[in-house]
Amino acid sequence: MAAAGPKSRPRARAKGPTANLFDIPELMPGAQPSANPAQREEFEQRCRDLSRESYLEEMEAQASRAVARATAGHGAAASDLEAMFPNIDADLIRAIHTESPTPQHAIETLLALSAAIAEPVGGSEEAASRRATSPPPLLLGVEDYDKFPCLTDGNGWQAVSQRQLERDDEDLGSAWCDRAKVAARLPQP
């Protein structure tokens, strides 16, 4: 009896790793100069498909960026912010909108201000409702020169009101004249 040798099996050719040429059209067989017409047509169709996919992806990215900008407030104008925050002064809203680096920062600042305005001060709801319903005092005393003196500029010049210019009947005194006479007698520097 003959020795039974190991069964010989036909070996399959071992394939090494292959590159996925589906996304790299330049490496497809149809891109080569020796390509036949069928390979060339497959190559051109794949290029058109990749171009269409790239265009659709770009359009989706632009749409998602536009939605993100709209939800982040990038298109928010000062008038839009004034409508969103009616309890905050319009001039303050415009100033915050102008000085903020992005509209999102302006919205966050206005939200914080709006929350701070809504919080009761002093801890009790009763005090907050009482304060909100009572009007501010009407007599502030702006007519009193001691409480509200004239404004001066950087050089010390006073900005007088029309009311002060109309006061002809009062004696203004001679203090300035007396000082001028004394200064005239002093030696020049």
Q: What is the pLDDT along the chain (189 residues), one digit of tens a residue?
A: 455 555 555 555 667 777 666 667 677 778 888 889 998 898 888 889 888 999 999 999 888 877 766 665 556 677 888 888 888 888 998 888 888 888 888 888 988 888 888 776 655 566 555 555 666 666 767 777 677 766 777 787 777 667 766 765 566 667 778 888 888 888 886
Q: How much is the CA Rg of the chain, to the nearest whole Å? A: 42
